[in-house]
Homo-oligomer: A and B are copies of this chain.
């Protein structure tokens, strides 16, 4: 009953097979191979418009390169207080951007709203003596497992554009959002004003493959330079490209995400009144108290406690390959708490 994180999971067999498939003969290095060259085309089809795709090896790299491309060093990047870029990337955004400042916004379910964003822009736009609001970053799905609806993203995008801000989306669990919403990827990205998306695959079945999807052609050169300069332009690019091509092929990405979403929903059902956030994707949060969490642990469940020490709240993340037996066993444990 390991629900610690979806990045503890193995890779999907389709992904492993893809590596073997491209491992033949010589191929141009640094993204000039034929598989890498296919990426723009495949992602353009997926997003229903011309996009440029830049592969990197981690979500932190995807986020930091993107944010640095949307803010000057004296800019402010507005994000939720619990955002991954604030809490879990050891200051990568500050490093890549040359010292931009993350301005933190509070809100339920780790979500921004047009109102909270607007207020933060107003409060932080104070002339030469202060950093200048330059970009906004949202996570889809959020760090609390919530999902922005297309209209919510679009409303945030409108506030951003009206204020001249760039718009970045951390899509480490983008697949879970699209799977849950049943929408087009375009509906929660460029159609809603997003400039750069970190399209994650690693957590949902890949080995190490993330893509920066660039919707604004004017940003492509800067993203490319920042990727190279940070050591994220890999020489044998075919092996990253292969993972992403396999991930898109036959909608593998959505199939896997639908599976983990559905399993999480079953856990949520069992957690019932203890849920501390509504369960919308493959992460659920419950707050049965410290003693109950201890009991779950004693029964063999693995998970992270969430929030400050002793909060009595836990996060359960369901991986793409979680077994049905795991889910049923955990459901029984959760039911026993009530």
Contacts and interface: CB of A to CB of B under 8 A. Distances in A.
A44 interface: no
Nearest to A3: B26
Given A24-B10, A203-B235, A239-B11, A73 B58 contact: no
Interface in A229-260: 229-236, 239-240
A180 interface: no
A27 interface: yes
Interface string A70-82: 0011100000000
A235 B60 CA distance: 10
Contacts of A10: 23-27
Interface string A86-124: 011111101101111110000000000000000000010
Interface stretch (A148-156, A161-169, A189-197, A219-227): A219-227
A283 interface: no
B90 A95 contact: no
A338 to B, nearest CB: 27
A308 interface: yes
Contact of A26 (B56, B89, B102, B319): B319
A276 interface: no
Interface string A198-231: 0000110001100000000000001011101111
A229 B26 contact: no
A19 interface: yes
Interface of A: 2, 4-5, 7-11, 16, 19-20, 23-30, 56-62, 64, 72-74, 87-92, 94-95, 97-102, 123, 126, 128-132, 202-203, 207-208, 222, 224-226, 228-236, 239-240, 308, 319
Given A58-B233, A64-B230, A99-B99, 5 more contacts: A74-B225, A74-B226, A90-B228, A92-B229, A128-B224
